[in-house]
Structure 1
Amino acid sequence: MLVLEMQVPPLPLLATVGYVLWPSGVMHAERQFDAFDMIICTKGTLYMEENDVPYNVGQGMMLVLEPGKRHLGSRPTDEETEVYWIHFQYPADSQPKLAQKQSWRQPLLETTNQDVAPPPAVIEIPKFAAVDLRVIVPLLAEMLQLHSMLTPSRSFELQTLFSQLLVQLQRGMASGSHQARSRLLGEKVAAYLADRLNAPFDSAQMERDLHYHFDYLSRCLKDYTGMSPLKFRHYLQVERAKPLLTHSELSLVKIGEQCGFQDYNYFIRLFKRQTSFTPGEYRKRYQVIRLD
């Protein structure tokens, strides 16, 4: 699938949102401007070209036209056609990358609960794809209502709704891919492990609870996070330990126990391997309460 990848920050920002119901026989005008034009068709078919590449945007389809490219209608509508559109900007020095999406892996970021800079993020939306109108149209309707009586505060609300729309397009693209089953199971395995950090790691019990062979569960989780189940469990254990070290007066041994470590020395080794600090060093560096 051809995908627009936008690094965040900066955020893409909505310029306008609109709606039209065209009768049969109408053709989109020819134009070229410096904004992205997202078209979502909810009825009929809109026939478009972008730099001589044709697109039939039928019911339940979306197309993103790119700035600087020439786009126009390729033929008139042959039935009543309902279309929503959104013009949005993304800084010229941070142009999205147009690429074929090959993998849905979501690598985990290195973070602490004391970070003062936002972590890197990415928004991925399809160039041309089917969308779930049941999810998208209510958002578009709310956006149109806000836009009809725009004030500075409502403009901010409109931008947050646009961000929600992008999230839904990103999720819908992943759930509609041929890897959707694997991705959803990877998410399920991740949640399963997160809920059972205090219990011993038991691959046989995981098989019984999730109704798949452990090897398949492991493959799905690795496709999703890049980690094996045991490595992901260790990652979660260390992440749970971090706020306890910085925001509580619990002893290091007690924190290790609360994070599923019965062997304190193993807790130290694993924590240092993942963070380059021992638990004591991490507490001394990042603690936000005073321990007498």
Structure 2
Amino acid sequence: MNLSPLIFSIIANPFPIFVEGNIETYRTGRLHPRRKNLGYFDIIIVIEGTLYLTENDINYEIKKNEAIVLSPVHLHYSYKKSQDNTSFYWLHFYTESEWLESHNPVFLNSTFKIPQLHFHNKIYTLHLPKHQAINNSRFIIQTITTILDNTKKNDDFTFFENQKLFIDLLKQLELRKEQHNTSQQLAESIKDFLYKSISQKIDAETLSQEFHFHYNYLSRVMKKYYGTTPIEYLNELRLVYAADLLLQTNHSIQYIAANAGFQTIPYFSNCFKKKYLLSPRNFRNRHSSQSAAE
């Protein structure tokens, strides 16, 4: 009897936390090491070549633009040597939540009790396919490289930014249900496009041409799933990106404004001050002086 592919069902809250990661290349003939009881999940995304892994007596052939999620407890190892040069990203994440590996998505009950008298988050079960092809590899790889680059900065701002990016990554890898709403897919595509277009000139006409819908419809879709219009969402991304450049580089305000996609410095300064309550220059000076004092 053929069984459906394996799926990890992971309860949230609390949500899984990114721990560490890297990119690695295996030369022809190399074997993946034998590992067991790591204590954390291991996401592997192959970008070149093929990995041949066994876990729990099941062989997996992970090709370019495919991902596998390895268990925190089961033994995994190579069942065959690399046949050619193979490059892949690996990301470890940790959760104290209950999880289950099965052939069907399972909705778990959390032991994390939430009072029902007030506004509250729902309990959510994350469903991650054990092995899958990824169609949005460009966005996923960009997200991973940003996470890894952020770890080199080792500051509080990038810690929280990385957790947000990692949750976005999990969402991209999550099981797509057959009844997945086409408007939600459109909203996610718009979001992915905006992430990749921070420094470019983007307006309503650009988005209409890209997605072949009137901008008013694109706005309704984004508001439904993200609570904001595409242009508002893009401006928020640009401001966060600009703040990061101010703190992490010595580039001029003019350079940062242009690199973050703002056409004029006055407009950039006004938008920045509304969000951070400081001008870009004062924001940089204040946080730089705090870092120096520490």
TM-score, length-scaled by structure 1: 0.54
Q: C-alpha displacement at 1:186, in angstroms? A: 8.2
Q: Distance in 2 between matches of 1:121 and 1:55?
A: 28
Residue from 79, 98, 101 that aligns with 2:101? 98
The answer on whether the counterparts of 1:143 and 1:158 sit within 8 Å (CA) in structure 2 is: yes
Q: Read off the aligned partner of 1:9 and give its amino acid letter.
A: N
CA contact (8 A) 1:3 1:125 kept: yes
Q: Distance in 2 between matches of 1:6 and 1:22?
A: 30
| 1:126 counterpart = 2:123 | no
- CA offsets per residue over residues 127-171 of structure 1, 9 Å max, x none? 11111212211111111111222223312211111101001112x
What displacement does 1:185 show? Answer: 5.1
Deviations 1:23-55 (A, max 9, x none): 211111111111111111011001111132211
Equivalent residue number for residue 137 of structure 1: 141
Cα gap change, 1:8 to 1:77, in 2 (>3 Å):
same
Contact 1:135 1:168 in 2 (8 A): no
1:25 matched to 2:22:
no
**Residue deviations 1:95-152 (CA, integer Å, cap 9, x gap):** 212233479xxxxxxxxxx943322222211111111212211111111111222223
Is 2:44–2:68's contact at 8 Å kept on the other side of the alignment?
yes
2:94 is aligned to 89
Matching residue within 164, 180, 192 for 1:183: 180
Asked if the contact 2:8/2:105 (under 8 Å) is kept, the reply is no
Contact 1:143 1:161 in 2 (8 A): yes
Which residue of 2 is the match for residue 254 of structure 1? none
Q: 2:81 aligns with which of 70, 76, 97?
A: 76
Number of residue equivalences: 171
- Once residues 50 and 138 of structure 2 are traced to their aligned partners in structure 1, the CA distance between those partners, rounded to angstroms, is 18
Q: Which residue pairs with 1:223 in the alignment?
A: none
| Root-mean-square deviation (Å) | 2.6
What residue identity is the alignment partner of 1:123? L
Q: How far is 1:7 from its partner?
A: 1.5
Q: How does 1:242-253 map to 2 (within 5 A)?
A: none
CA distance in 1, matches of 2:46, 2:133: 10
Which one of 7, 15, 18 corresponds to residue 19 of structure 2?
Answer: 15
CA drift of 1:63 comes to: 0.8
Say which of 67, 70, 75 aligns to 2:72: 67
Report Cα offsets for 1:262-281 as digits up to 9, x if no partner. xxxxxxxxxxxxxxxxxxxx
Residues 2 and 98 in structure 1, CA contact (< 8 A), matched pair in contact too: yes
- Report runs of 4+ in structure 1 exceeding 6 Å deviation: none
What amino acid is aligned across from residue 163 of structure 1 in structure 2? Answer: I
- Write the letter of the residue equivalent to 1:144: L
Q: 1:136 and 1:7, CA in 2 relative to 1: closer, same or farther beyond 3 A?
A: same
CA shift, 1:187, in A, is 6.0
Q: Secondary structure at the match of 1:183?
A: coil
Q: 1:165 aligns with which of 165, 169, 175?
A: 169
Equivalent-residue separation in structure 1 for 2:132 and 2:33 (angstroms): 22
Matched residues, percent identical? 25
Counterpart CA distance in 2 for 1:102 and 1:158 is 27
* 1:117 matched to 2:114: no
